[in-house]
Structure 1
Amino acid sequence: MDTVNAAARRIQRIYLTLTLGNTLAASFIWGVNTLFLLDAGLSSFEAFAANAFFTLGMVLFEIPTGVVADGWGRRYSFLLGTLTLAGSTFLYWLLWQFHSPFWAWAIVSILLGLGFTFFSGAVEAWLIDALRFTGFEGGFERVLGRGQMVTGAGMLVGSVVGGVVAQATNLGVPFLMRVGVLLIMFGVGLALMRDVGFTAQRSAHPWEGAKRVFTASIDGGLKNPPVRYVMLAAPFTAGVSIYVFYALQPYLLELFGDPHAYSIAGLAAALVAGSQILGGWLAPYIRMLFQRRTSALIVCTVGSAVLLGALGLTGSFWVALVLLAVWAMIGSAVLPVQQAYLNDMIPSAQRATVLSFGSLMGSTGGVVVQPALGRAADIYGYPASIAIGGLVQLIAVPFLVASRRQNAPADRRRDGDEPAVVEVVTPELP
């Protein structure tokens, strides 16, 4: 069977379009977000605490919005996400305008987290189910790697433009740009996105339907040992990565010697984006280097931690940029491998909820890790906090080793193999 037929190519084009638009919108502020919070009068601890409330919002809403995606449709979830994120981003801009108290930042940050949870799991689940429906049987590393490349391209353009616009105007304008592009993406999703290869499990009793999907997602997630251990590793890898990305803004400006060079902060985010493009391209080749997917996860996690230690120790701006680029490239190259590994072990009917649960675990780490490392930055400085983050990330390794020991068929699956998971259709409740 042709693994790249016309229908599969169309699904991939839609997926890449949605990914590009959403990333472009989100990344307008990524290069200046921490500077934006500090400019609003927040301390370093408060700035990262605000980010922690954002991840808390993701923790609170990952499962409910995953249930929305599985129970009402992935398209429905995507459209809700664009509107929620646009509205909460506009509220963020208003808080900056009025130098609002921290409690207001905390509330709106939670709403921002809600907006992103409508996307997490839903778009990826839509892609995998739609591709399988079209007869696509290739390895998903290549497709998801292209998604990483498009994400990097969107981030490259968005972060550079956001940094330049912020320096030419003020730190608030990139936030308004995000609102505008998200509203455009609502129209794009409305026109192009259809649930294919998946039937929403709606129920006459919404609470019972949500309970059914949630219970099934636990069975396919935490009660499935190889999936469970990858999820338990996520708080240490994702939590540290979130902190490092935002801490790099003031840290690199500190190394550069100009706290107002906002375009440098945008350049740093753009460098991460460029590394994502390269990492996404490398993803299928990274998979080819290892007999098992978990081997790639373990090696890349250790390598990433070592790079963070070196990044925290260097005093050179240019060396820091090189280390940052390699760190981002490794993370981007291994992410599609992890996504493919998980998707090959998750039934279609609960895919969005289980993937959202995985995001929840990563966000839980962010809730704890971000303010803790932010406090370390206040006391010891940003370099030390980044090095400490590398040590925290190493805690994920034993969990990945435990997942490897389960010898799941998905761990060895390659292009052309049959899916490692047996799809189970859950009957509708009366």
Structure 2
Amino acid sequence: MSEGTRLADASRENRVLVWKFYLYRATLSEGFVYPIITLYLLARGLSDGDVGLVNGLFFAGVVGAEIPTGYVGDKIGRRNSLIVSTLLMSVSMFAFTVSGSVPAFSAVYVFWGIALTFRSGTGSAYLYDMLEERLDTDEYSKITGRGGAAFLVTSAITSIAGGVLYGIDHRIPFVAAGFITASGALVLLSMPETEQYAEREGGSAFSARDAWETVREKFLAPELRTFIVYTALLLSIPELADLYIQPIVVEAGVPEQSLGVLYAGFMLVTAFASYNIDRVRDRVGIGGWFAVAPVLMAAALAGMLVEPWLAIPGFVGMRIVKSLSYAFRGQYLNDHLPSLGRATVLSTASMVYGVSFVVFRIGGGAVADAVGPKLAIVALAIAVAVLTQSLRLFSDPVRDAGSN
């Protein structure tokens, strides 16, 4: 971990680079489709179970491609891998407009998942390496949080537009999402590669054998293995719940044409929390956060079983927990990894998360078909809260690396 220049004292060049990172994060927004994607699938004839299936297959694509694409990121350079991801994800958005069956949507979701893997470990590794070279890695949580805020604010604005566009033609939001995602490639082209790849030393120095040794040594280390299982369980709940927010809030009385505004509200509140992530870390630390996050998640969601309208604040709370947990997860994992091979190990971790998300989305979708989405989500959230707290009795999932 570096002890370099803090963000407040950074040079103009490095401040501009950080702002470009925020702009890149903003282009990742798929806010045009967030408020309507489940409704779009249902309107195309899919059932609740089908929705869970195709979304589960998204993570099947993630699982299958994570390690190879993480290795590619370590070979060709972080920035180049991010550009590939951006272009492929744009294609996946356009593909939604010509799909109309379970097999077709299954293929689109698998392709979308593969596209994501080119950035899942690489994006985090790129930012952390840039901070090691130019600033201070202790700024990772703050910059990630503020980048997340940029993503969410953009998503809020485009969510409102997406709801309106959906009313005109169901396919237009996906076209708009494809174009805004593709624009991220232009932002990335204006950003530098990290030093070891700019000097052509990174990829040539990292063989497939090196990748295997790094994964075996780091991924199975005590400070990572319990943490990854713990956070995979925690983050599986919002990944499942996100599938059913739309039908649940419509059932609670929110008109379909207002979903864009509702999602915008979700994202703006979450953006405020994400922007202030450094304050959360200063007060409770990464270990303290993950000690309470599963319980907070379950408590936030449980209210909708009492009163339908409580689903709205419940989903806001869930999204805040999700956003902060992803940022703190990235800080913790990067703090425990070497630079060369970082993307490969992070992608291996993402593969484990993907397996968990596949199980929860497909299994949760089947449960939702049987007992309804609300009961399925709350029951699984409570089960995860109990299971994660039980894990803490045997091993602390967060181990000190001098930063938390």
- What TM-score does the superposition give when structure 2 sets the normalisation length? 0.91
* Deviation at residue 129 of structure 1 after TM alignment: 0.6
315, 326, 335: which is aligned to 2:326?
Answer: 335
* Deviation at residue 405 of structure 1 after TM alignment: 6.4
Q: Note closer, same or farther for the CA distance 1:238–1:153 as it changes in structure 2 (3 Å cut).
A: same
Aligned partner of residue 79 in structure 2, secondary structure: helix
Q: Distance in 2 between matches of 1:82 and 1:137?
A: 25
304, 308, 315: which is aligned to 1:316?
Answer: 308
47, 62, 66: which is aligned to 1:62?
Answer: 66
Residue number in structure 2 paired with 1:419 = none
280, 292, 295: which is aligned to 2:288?
Answer: 295
Q: Note closer, same or farther for the CA distance 1:253–1:295 as it changes in structure 2 (3 Å cut).
A: same
Q: Note closer, same or farther for the CA distance 1:79–1:250 as it changes in structure 2 (3 Å cut).
A: same
Q: Note closer, same or farther for the CA distance 1:322–1:344 as it changes in structure 2 (3 Å cut).
A: same
Q: Note closer, same or farther for the CA distance 1:16–1:193 as it changes in structure 2 (3 Å cut).
A: same
Residue number in structure 1 paired with 2:214 = 216
Residue number in structure 1 paired with 2:236 = 239
Q: Deviations over 1:356-383 (max 9, x none)?
A: 2222222211111112221222221122
Q: Does the 8 Å contact 2:78/2:194 carry over to 1? A: no
347, 352, 355: which is aligned to 2:343?
Answer: 352
Alignment of 1:136-147 (within 5 A): 136=136, 138-147=138-147
* Deviation at residue 304 of structure 1 after TM alignment: 0.9
Q: Distance in 1 between matches of 2:393 and 2:212?
A: 27
Amino acid at match of 1:89: M
Q: Does the 8 Å contact 1:283/1:334 carry over to 2? A: no
Q: Note closer, same or farther for the CA distance 1:46–1:77 as it changes in structure 2 (3 Å cut).
A: same
Amino acid at match of 1:105: F
Residue number in structure 2 paired with 1:426 = none
* Deviation at residue 104 of structure 1 after TM alignment: 2.3
Amino acid at match of 2:301: L
Q: What is the RMSD of the two structures over their aligned residues, measured on CA atoms? A: 2.2
* Deviation at residue 137 of structure 1 after TM alignment: 5.1
Amino acid at match of 1:15: F
Amino acid at match of 2:216: I
Q: Does the 8 Å contact 1:36/1:171 carry over to 2? A: yes
Q: Distance in 1 between matches of 2:344 and 2:267?
A: 28
Q: Note closer, same or farther for the CA distance 1:254–1:14 as it changes in structure 2 (3 Å cut).
A: same
Residue number in structure 2 paired with 1:420 = none
Aligned length: 394
* Deviation at residue 399 of structure 1 after TM alignment: 4.3
Residue number in structure 2 paired with 1:8 = 14
Gaps of 5+ in 2: none
Amino acid at match of 2:349: G
Q: Distance in 1 between matches of 2:80 and 2:208?
A: 15
Amino acid at match of 1:409: A
Q: Note closer, same or farther for the CA distance 1:400–1:77 as it changes in structure 2 (3 Å cut).
A: farther
Gaps of 5+ in 1: 415-430
Q: Does 1:365 align with 2:356?
A: yes
226, 229, 233: which is aligned to 1:229?
Answer: 226
Q: Distance in 1 between matches of 2:263 and 2:391?
A: 30
Q: Note closer, same or farther for the CA distance 1:197–1:374 as it changes in structure 2 (3 Å cut).
A: same
Q: Does the 8 Å contact 2:300/2:313 carry over to 1? A: no
Aligned partner of residue 252 in structure 2, secondary structure: helix
* Deviation at residue 398 of structure 1 after TM alignment: 4.1
Alignment of 1:140-159 (within 5 A): 140-159=140-159
Aligned-residue sequence identity (percent) comes to 23
Q: Note closer, same or farther for the CA distance 1:407–1:187 as it changes in structure 2 (3 Å cut).
A: closer
Q: Deviations over 1:159-183 (max 9, x none)?
A: 222112112x122111111112222
- Which stretch shifts more, 54-63 or 212-221? 212-221
Residue number in structure 2 paired with 1:196 = 194
- Which stretch shifts more, 7-16 or 77-86? 7-16
Q: Note closer, same or farther for the CA distance 1:198–1:161 as it changes in structure 2 (3 Å cut).
A: farther
Q: Does the 8 Å contact 1:129/1:198 carry over to 2? A: no
Alignment of 1:24-423 (within 5 A): 26-95=30-99, 99-100=100-101, 102-136=102-136, 138-167=138-167, 169-190=168-189, 192-199=190-197, 201-203=202-204, 209-221=207-219, 223-256=220-253, 261-290=255-284, 292-311=285-304, 313-317=305-309, 319-394=310-385, 395-399=387-391, 404=396, 407-410=399-402, 413=403
Q: Distance in 2 between matches of 1:64 and 1:402?
A: 33
Q: Note closer, same or farther for the CA distance 1:407–1:368 as it changes in structure 2 (3 Å cut).
A: closer
Q: Note closer, same or farther for the CA distance 1:86–1:300 as it changes in structure 2 (3 Å cut).
A: same
- Which stretch shifts more, 43-52 or 335-344? 335-344
* Deviation at residue 403 of structure 1 after TM alignment: 5.7
Amino acid at match of 1:51: N
Amino acid at match of 2:324: A
Q: Deviations over 1:258-292 (max 9, x none)?
A: xxx333332343233123212213311111222x4
Q: Distance in 2 between matches of 1:113 and 1:405?
A: 27
Q: Does the 8 Å contact 2:238/2:319 carry over to 1? A: no
Q: Runs ≥4 in structure 1, deviation > 6 angstroms?
A: none
Amino acid at match of 2:5: D
Amino acid at match of 1:2: T
Q: Distance in 2 between matches of 1:64 and 1:409?
A: 28
Aligned partner of residue 404 in structure 1, secondary structure: coil
Q: Distance in 2 between matches of 1:227 and 1:126?
A: 20
Q: Does the 8 Å contact 2:368/2:376 carry over to 1? A: yes
